[in-house]
Structure 1
Amino acid sequence: MNYETPLYRPPSEAQSLILQATIGCSHNACTFCSMYSKKKFRVRSLEEVYEDISWARANYGKVQRIFLADGDALAMETEALLAILKKLTDSFPEAERISIYAGPKNILAKTEQELVAIRQAGIKLAYFGLESGDAEVLQAVKKGVTPQEMIKAASKVRAAGIELSLTVILGLGGKKHSRQHALHTAEVVSQIDPEYLAALTLMTEKSTPLAARIAGGEFSLLSPREVLLELKMMLACLEVKNCLFRSNHASNYFAVGGLLPLDKERLLAETEQALGDYLLLKNEYLRGL
């Protein structure tokens, strides 16, 4: 495979075939993120992608899951994406799922008919970086969309029959906006009502604009205890119908998981237990992106 590194994928795609349909991130402006800062966004040619698919078919055994990278493969023209999906389904008929990162702006740029066609061509799951449901926080981190646009984009994906996995970032509002970040994020997630929800915890690298704000005293990071309080507040306010929640990402101080709303009380109790026993929290040096 002709990977252009660094290469990122969601934790649940650890055993998946990773195929780079695009390089970098089409937005690449979030103040907290350095994942694709050294990559200039481009859409790979079909020839390049087809070569990787052929190589993977010749060298790998049974492939059950496929993930389309990089940061937002949905940014490519629908016709090209459909061609790649056909090549994948023809080459890997045994694959049970093809998934993709999907940014809100690129979702909104697609028509409902295009999204339905993408679903019918094989995309079953979209990873959607909500990060926050608070308007001030989203504006501060330069996400490029409003909470209302987040809801609209997510709703378009679900209406097309594509399952949705949302990610939110604990601590993204800092100390100043912690409460509104938790409450408004819970509100937006509840309106979207995704199949999956994952919580990460803010980590900053020195090269990011947010790190400069921290160094300048403009942004205050949460303590581990404050992160847990934010998590507890968000969980308590979530009103979803059937959502698998996890906080098992390497960035988190504490991992909980369960089905909401069925396991809500257990998740809250486990979080409360962690608030009273710091031995349950991950050491700072063990956290990672």
Structure 2
Amino acid sequence: MRYYGSVYRPPSEAYSLIVQVTYGCSHNTCAFCSMYKDKRFALRPLEEVLEDFQMARRTYRHVERVFLADGDALVRKASELYTILDTIRELFPECQRVTSYASPASLRIRTPEELKTLREKGLTMVYMGLESGCDEVLRRMRKGHLSAEIVEMGCKARESGMALSVTAITGLGGPELLERHAVETAEAFNAMNPEYIGMLTLMVEPGTPLYDWVKEGSFHLLTQSQVLQETRLLVEKLDSPGSVFRMNHASNYLVLKGTLNQDKTAMLAEIDRAEHDLSRLRPEEWRGL
């Protein structure tokens, strides 16, 4: 396979065939994010995309999952996305799912009919970053979208029949916005009721504006106890029946797994145990992105 620059994928796509459909991220100004800084956003030539799938068919005997990279696959023309999905279905009849990242901007430009056609042609799930349901946090972190628009676009994806996986980041509001970040993020999740909810814990990457803010003292990181406090408040406020909740990323201090709302009590009990015994948390040096 041919890759340009650093390639990123969700943890659940570890065993997927990854093909770059676009290069980089069209927004790429989030203050906390260090991804895709080694390249400018561009549409990859369609001929190259299709060639990569041909190469993969000659290389791999069995491909059950395909992930369309980089950060903005859905911004391509609908007709080109149809061609890509038709090619996947033709070359890999054994493929069970095709997924990609989706931004609010890329979902905004797609009509409901286009999204439904993409789903019919095999795009089964999209991953979207909420980061926070608190508009003040989103503005500070230069997300480029406020909570209401992110929620609206998440609902739009779900209405097309696609599954939706949404992530947010514990600690992104710092101590002063801890409560609002937790409560309003839960409210955004509840409004979308996505199939999957993923929580990461903030890690500060060199080369980002957030790194400079922490270094100069204008942004303060949460302590482990505050992370647990914020996590507990968020889980308390979650009301998203059927959503699979995962807080098992390498960045997380505490691993939480469950299905809402039925496992909420058990997850809250796990948080309580960790609050009384911080040795249950992942050591700082073991955390990673």
Please give the alpha-carbon distance, in whole angstroms, between the structure 2 residues aligned to 1:169 and 1:45. 34
Q: Does the 8 A contact of 2:6 with 2:38 survive in 1?
A: no
Please give the alpha-carbon distance, in whole angstroms, between the structure 2 residues aligned to 1:75 and 1:226. 38
Q: Give the alignment's TM-score, normalised by structure 2.
A: 0.98
Q: Name the structure 2 match of 1:237.
A: 237
Task: State the identity %.
Answer: 45
Residue 180 of structure 1 deviates from its aligned partner by: 0.3
Aligned residue for 1:172, secondary structure, equals coil
Residue 273 of structure 1 deviates from its aligned partner by: 0.7
Please give the alpha-carbon distance, in whole angstroms, between the structure 2 residues aligned to 1:61 and 1:272. 47
Please give the alpha-carbon distance, in whole angstroms, between the structure 1 residues aligned to 2:63 and 2:187. 37
Residue 111 of structure 1 deviates from its aligned partner by: 1.0
Please give the alpha-carbon distance, in whole angstroms, between the structure 1 residues aligned to 2:143 and 2:35. 14
Q: Name the structure 2 match of 1:282.
A: 282
Q: Name the structure 2 match of 1:214.
A: 214
Please give the alpha-carbon distance, in whole angstroms, between the structure 1 residues aligned to 2:275 and 2:5. 38
Q: Does the 8 A contact of 2:34 with 2:205 survive in 1?
A: yes
Q: Name the structure 2 match of 1:23.
A: 23
Matches within 5 A, 1:61-72: 61-72=61-72
Deviations 1:196-247 (A, max 9, x none): 0000011111200111111121110111111111111100000111010001
Please give the alpha-carbon distance, in whole angstroms, between the structure 2 residues aligned to 1:52 and 1:269. 48
Say whether residues 1:193 and 2:196 are aligned partners: no
Say whether residues 1:157 and 2:157 are aligned partners: yes
Residue 93 of structure 1 deviates from its aligned partner by: 0.8
Q: Name the structure 1 match of 2:40.
A: 40
Please give the alpha-carbon distance, in whole angstroms, between the structure 2 residues aligned to 1:256 and 1:4. 35
Q: Which amino acid aligns with 1:154?
A: G
Would you identify which runs of 4 or more consecutive aligned residues in structure 1 move more than 6 Å? none
Aligned residue for 2:34, secondary structure, equals coil
Please give the alpha-carbon distance, in whole angstroms, between the structure 2 residues aligned to 1:111 and 1:23. 23
Q: Give the alignment's TM-score, normalised by structure 1.
A: 0.98
Residue 16 of structure 1 deviates from its aligned partner by: 0.8
Q: Which amino acid aligns with 1:107?
A: L
Deviations 1:60-110 (A, max 9, x none): 121111111111211222111111111111111111100110001111111
Aligned residue for 2:115, secondary structure, equals helix
Residue 5 of structure 1 deviates from its aligned partner by: 3.0
Please give the alpha-carbon distance, in whole angstroms, between the structure 2 residues aligned to 1:268 and 1:97. 33
Say whether residues 1:81 and 2:81 are aligned partners: yes
Please give the alpha-carbon distance, in whole angstroms, between the structure 2 residues aligned to 1:167 and 1:61. 32
Aligned residue for 1:189, secondary structure, equals helix
Please give the alpha-carbon distance, in whole angstroms, between the structure 2 residues aligned to 1:150 and 1:269. 31
Q: Which amino acid aligns with 2:176?
A: K
| Gap regions ≥5 residues in structure 1 | none
Residue 7 of structure 1 deviates from its aligned partner by: 1.1
Q: Does the 8 A contact of 2:131 with 2:167 survive in 1?
A: yes
Q: Which amino acid aligns with 1:147?
A: S
Q: Name the structure 1 match of 2:4.
A: 4
Q: Name the structure 2 match of 1:100.
A: 100
Please give the alpha-carbon distance, in whole angstroms, between the structure 1 residues aligned to 2:163 and 2:119. 10
| Gap regions ≥5 residues in structure 2 | none
Q: Name the structure 1 match of 2:174.
A: 174
Q: Name the structure 2 match of 1:205.
A: 205
Please give the alpha-carbon distance, in whole angstroms, between the structure 2 residues aligned to 1:241 and 1:142. 30
Aligned residue pairs total 289
Q: Which amino acid aligns with 1:87?
A: T
Give the aligned CA root-mean-square deviation in angstroms. 0.8
Q: Which amino acid aligns with 2:153?
A: A
Q: Does the 8 A contact of 2:5 with 2:38 survive in 1?
A: no
